[in-house]
Amino acid sequence: MKILLLEDDPILSDILLCHLNKHMHQTTHFNDGQLACNTLNDQKFDLLILDINVPKLSGIDLLKEIRTYQNNTPAIVITAFQDTAHLKKSFENGCDDYIKKPFDLEELDLRIKNIQKRFHIVNEEAIKLDDNILLIVSKNRLFVDEISYTLTRKECKILLYLCNQKGKVISSEELIQNLWDYHEMPSEATIRVYIKNLRNILGKEKIQTVRGNGYIFE
């Protein structure tokens, strides 16, 4: 799914981004409600995850504004407010689900799956990684110059994670922490094999090694 995340808490933002990326969602993060709202004028998303208390434009006011021009993208509101007044206001202004902080990530997963079922959202959107590169996450299919390649599930996850962090150096440790369960723990040699397989398809220039630090998707 293509998700817009509005959350200004840096620690929670990092946790949610890592978790959503791990579950193969393409997530765009904002900590400013007005900037998020402006982006929604130009881009389409499958789901909005909105914190209420953020700078410039609250999650509720953002919802109210986009609903006035018929943007009906499903929205989950997350908040530290425990009162029913904010719950009521969120639903009155167009939210589809509501989670009070603190919450388990498993609860968020269940609510996202429920939104997918309710709104018939299928994870088959082709993600454009470059002018000639498309990735269909739900099928682990990669198209380069219109030639189709089948990736393993882990190769697909690694590629999507690197793509979502484009231009940033990603260490093997970060990949392991975010894409593997704690009981799996692959070696760095295993990571190198996955990267080599992706390079054989994409070319060495797309995934570069920063010696001693990790990998970067260009």
For the domain with range 2-119, which CATH number is right: 3.30.390.50, 3.90.1150.10, 3.40.50.2300, 2.40.50.220? Answer: 3.40.50.2300
Q: Would the pLDDT of 123 be above 70?
A: no
Q: What is the pTM of this model?
A: 0.66
Q: Would the pLDDT of 23 be above 80?
A: no
Residue indicated by tokens 């470059």: 130
Q: Would the pLDDT of 138 be above 80?
A: no
How far is the C-alpha of 215 from the C-alpha of 209, rounded, in Å? 5
Residue 73 carries which DSSP code?
A: -
Predicted local confidence at residue 155, as pLDDT: 92
For the domain with range 126-217, which CATH number is right: 1.10.10.10, 3.30.950.10, 3.40.190.10, 3.30.70.100? Answer: 1.10.10.10
Residue 27's SS3 state is strand
Domain locations along the chain: 2-119, 126-217
pLDDT tens digits along 93-120: 999 999 999 999 999 999 999 999 899 8
Helix/strand/coil (H/E/C) assignment for every residue in 42-65 = CCCCCEEEEECCCCCCCHHHHHHH
pLDDT tens digits along 33-91: 999 999 998 888 999 999 999 999 999 999 999 999 889 999 999 999 999 999 999 99
